[in-house]
Amino acid sequence: MDVLVEENPMSQPSLHAVELLARMIGLDMVIVFSEPSQKFKSEHAPLLESHLLFQIELENRGLLFAAGPMLEDDGLPDGHGMTILNVASINEARKLWSEEPFHQAGLRTDTFQRWRLNEGGLNIKLGFSTGSFKIKQT
């Protein structure tokens, strides 16, 4: 885990903070923030299936960590999206994303940002006898 080191000792993290960072997962990925164009609402429906299949293909290849739409207060998608790609560089992300259907059709503009996963968790309940699973929100 890289820790920023500066000349001023007052700007140094404590030894405990360094120890905490050292045991965190520290997975580097890239977030794609997608913003809808003016024509997104009127033209995205025919491409939705190919967009979803594209995302599923990335997931099957181990390249999609998480993705989904941004929501209005009423719970409906507003056209913006966020995708976290399991790649280490923006160049890799741009290459993958050049095939994304909404992007190709000019229905979204995309911004790429490197990101490091350090904290968080996921609660999963596995039902062995039923062959089921459930992701639990707390």
Show the domain range for 115. 26-136
Whether 86 maps to a domain, the answer reads yes
Q: DSSP per residue over 74-103, as a string?
A: TS-EEEEEEEEES-S-HHHHHHHHTT-HHH
Whether 14 maps to a domain, the answer reads no
Amino acid 137: pLDDT: 79
Whether 9 maps to a domain, the answer reads no
Amino acid 129: pLDDT: 83
Q: Which residues of the chain have pLDDT under 50?
A: none
Q: To which H or E segment does residue 25 belong?
A: none
Whether 109 maps to a domain, the answer reads yes
Whether 55 maps to a domain, the answer reads yes
Whether 110 maps to a domain, the answer reads yes
Whether 18 maps to a domain, the answer reads no
Amino acid 3: pLDDT: 57
- Rounded Cα distance, 70 and 124, in Å: 24
The answer to whether the CB of 32 falls within 8 A of the CB of 111 is: yes
Q: Considering its fold, how many domains does the chain have in total?
A: 1
Whether 72 maps to a domain, the answer reads yes
Amino acid 138: pLDDT: 72
DSSP conformational letter for 61: T
Amino acid 67: pLDDT: 97
CATH code of the domain covering residue 113: 3.30.70.1060
For 32, other C-beta atoms within 10 Å of its C-beta total: 22
